[in-house]
Homo-oligomer: A and B are copies of this chain.
Amino acid sequence: MKFSFLLVCCIITIYTHSQAGHSHRLERSLKFPDIAGYKTMKCDLHQHTVFSDGQVWPNIRVQESLKDGLDAISLTEHLEWLPHKDDIPYPDRNRSYEIALKEAENHNLIIIRGSEITRKMPPGHSNAIFIEDANKLLIDDSIKVFQEAKRQKAFTFWNHPSWTSQRPDGIATLTDMHRRLIREGLLDGIEVVNEHSYSDEALKIALDNNLTIMGTSDIHGLIDWAHDVPYGHRPITLVFAKTATSEAIHEGLSNRRTVVVHNNLLIGRDEFLIPLVEASLKIDTAYYAGKTDVLTVMIKNITSSEFTLQNKSGYTLHEHSDLVTIKAGEQQKIMVKTVKRLTNVDLKFEALNAVNAPGSHPVITLKVKVQ
């Protein structure tokens, strides 16, 4: 009946629910703070539509992303795998980008042109984003296609290196071809998170080879169903960009400034991971109650991920063991036995839901100024 009913739906939804005094709803939009010197850009840079093997028109990808509060996306259609070819016979490989771009007009959502280079292992699947023309990537030779991508100034990354269809044991492993791509500057990043998977081995490859740590949804169907929205959410790559622009995201990615969010799990290099976690946990109040020498501290988690912290402060806690969890968007009271009254206290925690290397977690410091 209606040719453009989604805007209407949005408005209705806002009207119907925004002021409800009794709401049971979980908030869907993803929240992560900026860090010193950078905008934190929420990106999902690996997605599909009917223009390759996905199951929705590109406008749905834009609408999902707006609901999720993303800042940038890329629709990275397979160049070589077109199961809908009987119905969509002459696809311009830039077509889903163009439709998305139009849909995103008047919204704060950056659409990045990209494509998936789809090969058997090695090198498996890879994405090239920030390209100029996807059609020009229709090149058989696996090295030459990366060279063309780079000629277009693309940022490239290896997709799902732990995918069990190409690695039945799920162990991401570098091949000679990958080593060559890296050596020749043709491969910039690697997915450590793809859809539901996380790979310790991919993280190690990233760290050992100075690759950008990436996480993407690789969505084909619906985000809501694949990620159990609003109870879960899609994986995203946080890119620390100097400004909120496409160019700045490109620069941030190229300089390895990312943290991947995979539900409650945050993966990144300490240089960005520690400031992100520290910015995520706000000290709201800190005081000694009554005549006690026990410090009450209210910590607010302003993100969409639950934090699991292990106390490394040297003080024991009055209500917790060494384990403290802080749910997404909630505030947690902790009581610190400082033995005597102090005016400044450094709370140190190992952030167990954050990973800076396989099996390794950053230790963060929350600086508390007593009121």
CB pair A9 B328 closer than 8 Å: no
Q: Is A254 interfacial (CB-CB < 8 Å)? A: no
CB pair B9 A225 closer than 8 Å: yes
Contact stretch, chosen from A32-40, A129-137, A159-167: A159-167
In the complex, how many angstroms separate the beta carbon of A63 from the nearest chain B beta carbon? 8
Q: Is A250 interfacial (CB-CB < 8 Å)? A: no
CB pair A5 B221 closer than 8 Å: yes
Residues of B within 8 A of A20 (CB): 327, 329-331
Within A1-48, which residues are at the interface with B (CB < 8 Å)? 1-3, 5-6, 9, 12-13, 15-24, 26-27, 31
Contact stretch, chosen from A145-153, A313-321, A362-370: A313-321
In the complex, how many angstroms separate the beta carbon of A344 from the nearest chain B beta carbon? 18
Oligomeric state, in copies: 4
Report how many residues on chain A are interfacial, defined by Cβ distance under 8 Å: 107
CB pair B330 A22 closer than 8 Å: yes
CB pair A310 B9 closer than 8 Å: no
Q: How far is the CA of A358 from the CA of B315 in the complex (A)?
A: 12
Known: A220-B5, A292-B164, A323-B308. A329 touches B87 (CB 8 A): no
Q: Is A139 interfacial (CB-CB < 8 Å)? A: no
Known: A2-B218, A222-B60. A321 touches B198 (CB 8 A): yes
Known: A226-B5, A317-B198. A170 touches B60 (CB 8 A): no
Q: Is A298 interfacial (CB-CB < 8 Å)? A: yes
Query: Interface residues, chain A, CB within 8 Å of chain B?
Result: 1-3, 5-6, 9, 12-13, 15-24, 26-27, 31, 50-51, 53-57, 59-60, 63, 81, 83-84, 87-91, 95, 125, 159-160, 162-165, 168-171, 194-201, 218, 220-222, 224-226, 228, 264-265, 267, 284-285, 290-294, 298, 300, 302, 308, 310, 316-323, 325, 327-333, 335, 337, 339-340, 352-353, 355, 358-359
